[in-house]
């Protein structure tokens, strides 16, 4: 019986490919806009290894796995056995995972996330003009605002109330409105009175 010889495909060198450009395109991770991550990034290792060293999850499905039914039952059995004293956990089993070598990146990201930021809420000028007009004319009567002829888009009183609440969360624009109407001092006085009443209630307790 004769053995069948496998024919190998002859390799052809492609002279039209720029190998350096191809390598750079494969290894390129794109522009990193996060300064702490960019500062700690090591271009000699993969993206997964970089993020592991920083303590950041590369794949959330791997970091937060949904336990299977078998794993849940195993954990229950182990918990019952530990409670009854059937066996003890060895030092190897009780080892806590070591901190990543670049854990400072996570701390910087957490501090940046908790830092106070200026409100970025914005409304078009046409919306602001309508809100100012409605507040001047109707005050807090949202149902009357709904029936106003300048409510061109026939928004409900709840939609108008939502726009006004959004306007009140814009300190720069809302502060200018209160100052122009002479209401800023009144609101500050009401806040002072409210704080004094709360303090008296705490003292009386």
What's the 3-state SS for 65-99? CCCCHHHHHHHHHHHHHHHHCCCCCCCCCCCCCCC
- CA pair distance 191, 166, nearest whole angstrom: 20
pLDDT, averaged across the chain:
81
Q: Max CA-CA distance within the chain?
A: 106
| Arithmetic mean of pLDDT, 85-99 | 59
- CA pair distance 144, 147, nearest whole angstrom: 5
pLDDT at 197 over 70: no
- Give the model's pLDDT for residue 163: 92
DSSP state letter for 165: H
Nearest C-alpha neighbor of 36 from the set 105, 115, 107, 110: 105
DSSP state letter for 11: P
- CA pair distance 188, 30, nearest whole angstrom: 50
Report CA Rg, the chain: 32
- Give the model's pLDDT for residue 25: 83
- Give the model's pLDDT for residue 176: 86
Nearest C-alpha neighbor of 55 from the set 114, 127, 106: 106
| Arithmetic mean of pLDDT, 146-173 | 91
6 φ, ψ (degrees, to nearest 5):
-80, 130
pLDDT at 2 over 70: no
- Give the model's pLDDT for residue 156: 94
The most confident of 21-35, 95-109, 159-173, by mean pLDDT: 159-173
Q: Per residue in 30-85, pLDDT tens? A: 888 889 999 999 988 888 899 999 999 999 888 888 888 888 888 888 888 888 77
- Give the model's pLDDT for residue 65: 82
The residue that leads in pLDDT, 4 or 181, is 181
For 80, the token pair is 């019952």
pLDDT at 203 over 50: no
């Amino acid at each position: 019986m004769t053995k069948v010889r496998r024919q190998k495909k002859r390799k052809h060198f492609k002279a039209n490919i720029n190998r350096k450009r191809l390598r750079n395109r494969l290894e390129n991770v794109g522009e990193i806009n996060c300064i702490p991550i960019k500062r700690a990034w090591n271009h000699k290792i993969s993206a997964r290894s970089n993020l592991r060293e920083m303590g950041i999850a590369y794949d959330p499905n791997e970091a937060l796995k949904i336990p299977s039914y078998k794993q849940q039952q195993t954990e229950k059995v182990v918990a019952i056995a530990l409670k009854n004293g059937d066996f003890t956990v060895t030092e190897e089993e009780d080892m806590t995972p070591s901190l990543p070598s670049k854990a400072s990146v996570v701390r910087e990201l957490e501090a940046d996330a908790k830092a106070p930021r200026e409100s970025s809420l914005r409304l078009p000028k046409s919306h602001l003009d309508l809100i100012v007009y409605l507040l001047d004319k109707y005050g807090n009567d949202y149902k009357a605002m709904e029936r106003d002829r300048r409510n061109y888009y026939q928004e409900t009183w709840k939609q108008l109330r939502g726009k006004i609440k959004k306007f009140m969360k814009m300190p720069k624009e809302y502060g200018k409105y209160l100052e122009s109407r002479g209401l800023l001092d009144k609101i500050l006085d009401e806040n002072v009175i409210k704080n004094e009443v709360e303090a008296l209630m705490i003292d009386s307790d």
